[in-house]
Amino acid sequence: MSIKRCLLFAVVLFFLQSTLIPFLFDGITQPNVFFLAVILIALQYGRKAGIVTAVVAGFVQDVVLSNFFGLHLIPYVILAAISSYIGRAGDKEQRILTVVTVLGATEVSLLLYCLMAFVSGQYVQPAAYMAEFAMPMTVYHLVLVLPAEYVVGKLRRQESYYGYRRYYRP
């Protein structure tokens, strides 16, 4: 992945998550583009890139956008490790595997958020929490997963697909 592309991608994600998405959606449920980026990078680029992205995105989201430190960081790292394992097992061109992985990771992340809130001493009703957040988040991520996968796939340098480009010129 190109450093310039990754930094630009991170700035765009931060802008989307902190300003544009809250403006477009209600304050209770909204898509989590950091989460989508973490899962898709782990699927496409492997464990190391996925976990680094999870740590950075989780830290930024916890420090800047959240009020409970670790709420996003811990689930992101866990789900990036699991997604990288699934990404190694599957074919890169299987769109259905990507969609199912993102939707499953969405539900697992919501369960982990609920568990972390409960462990921290907050009063949480898991059924109500899942009913209020699970369905909208699943729909949002279902709509955004394929466009986000296209964008994440474009972060690769052209040379990574074709080796040395001079060998493929006509």
Any domain includes 132: yes
Cα–Cα distance for residue pair 87/15, rounded to 1 Å: 28
- Summarised one tens digit per residue, pLDDT across range 50-94 is 898 899 888 888 887 666 777 888 899 999 999 988 887 766 667
Any domain includes 37: yes
pTM of the predicted model, to two decimals? 0.83
Look at residue 166 in the predicted model and tell me its pLDDT: 46
Look at residue 159 in the predicted model and tell me its pLDDT: 43
Look at residue 134 in the predicted model and tell me its pLDDT: 86
Q: Which tokens is 20 given?
A: 């544009």
| Segments forming the whole domain that contains residue 147 | 3-154
Provide the H-helix boundaries in 30-125: 33-45, 47-60, 73-89, 95-119
**Ramachandran angles phi, psi of 81, nearest 5°:** -65, -45
Any domain includes 63: yes
At what angle are helices 73-89 and 33-45 packed, to 10 degrees? 30
Any domain includes 165: no
- Domain tally for the chain? 1
Question: Position of tokens 């916890």?
Answer: 62
Any domain includes 163: no
Any domain includes 70: yes
Type of residue numbered 115: L
Any domain includes 99: yes
CATH of the domain at 30: 1.10.1760
Total number of residues shown for the chain: 170
Look at residue 78 in the predicted model and tell me its pLDDT: 93
Q: What is the CA radius of gyration of the chain?
A: 17
Any domain includes 168: no
> Which parts of the chain sit beneath pLDDT 70?
1-3, 27, 65-67, 90-93, 156-170
Cα–Cα distance for residue pair 50/46, rounded to 1 Å: 6
| Whether 63 contacts 72, CB under 8 Å | no
